[in-house]
Amino acid sequence: MPELPEVEVSRLGVSPHLIGNTITQVVVRERRMRWPIPEEVSKVEGQKVIAVKRRAKYLLIETATGTLILHLGMSGKLRVIDAVTPVVKHDHVDIVLNTGKCLRLNDPRRFGAVLFQAPNTQQAMFNNLGPEPLTDDFDDKRLFSLSRNRKGPVKNFIMDNAIVVGVGNIYANEALFLAGIDPRRAAGNISAARYKALTATIKQVLAKAIEQGGTTLKDFAQTDGKPGYFAQHLNVYGRKGEPCEVCGNAIESKVIGQRNTFFCTRCQR
């Protein structure tokens, strides 16, 4: 599933084509997505795009009459293309612009979403989200305080969107490795000093991934069709049995919280 850096790369890619231009039509070919696409999405037609923002893994296309909310799900791809480009299989939604371009969502598995949010309202999925990881609202004091008395694995803890949004599986593995923390350890048994290091590595890993274009996944490419490049620099994720680049010990793997988890038992404790 595309993680926060992939979604942020998508936001950066589509923003110049949308902001300041007018949405002339929202073409919905398939309404059966994660949630049915509501008829209200047409309310943005004739409206100028004011901003393109991101909250967690959701893209927010803002207009004066409301906001389109997009989620890529597990296999969604966004492309800015000529509006007359022939439709191919799984091209479910077009956001057509006055420039002759359109933002096209292709989603084979239909786990993505296109929703509408009226002004001064908030969709329920945003109600209990934690802070964005690359903002000052996310800090080590928050992590340490919320971790007390938690017996579950620290990896699950930092992937909890109520704690901090957008730390998905790939980047949780990488941040824990860089911080030297075993992902199996109970969140409540980790010291304040180690949470300070972990907070810094989460920010570092996510910022680097965004800078380098996201992580290459089978179902992800940037808005220009090029894959991301951060996968070339993964320390542990997907490297079971390979030698740790720091100590040479074989990388191990275990399922934690229904997700494959990769770690070095020598470097992480």
266 is in an annotated binding site: no
90 is in an annotated binding site: yes
- Copy the structure tokens of residue 174: 């990488």
d(Cα 172, Cα 202) in Å, to the nearest integer?
7
- E strands within the chain? 22-28, 47-48, 51-55, 58-63, 66-71, 77-82, 91-97, 101-106, 113-117, 252-256, 259-263
Annotation marks residue 89 as catalytic: no
d(Cα 97, Cα 100) in Å, to the nearest integer?
6
The residue from 11, 43, 54, 57 that is catalytic is 57
The residue from 3, 62, 132, 174 that is catalytic is 3
Q: For residue 250, what is the DSSP state?
A: B
The residue from 2, 5, 133, 153 that is catalytic is 2
d(Cα 75, Cα 92) in Å, to the nearest integer?
12
Count CA atoms closer than 13 A to 175's CA, side-chain side: 30
Annotation marks residue 2 as catalytic: yes
* Integer CA distances (angstroms), 106 to 30, 70, 75, 217, in order: 10, 12, 8, 16
109 is in an annotated binding site: yes
* Number of C-beta neighbours around residue 67 at 10 A: 24
d(Cα 163, Cα 245) in Å, to the nearest integer?
30
Annotation marks residue 259 as catalytic: yes
Annotation marks residue 104 as catalytic: no
Of the candidates 247, 208, 212, the one whose C-alpha atom is nearest the C-alpha of residue 226 is 212
The residue from 185, 196, 208, 259 that is catalytic is 259
> Which amino acids are annotated as binding site, given as ranges?
90, 109, 150
Instruction: State the catalytic residues.
Output: 2-3, 57, 259
> Which amino acids are annotated as binding site for DNA, given as ranges?
90, 109, 150
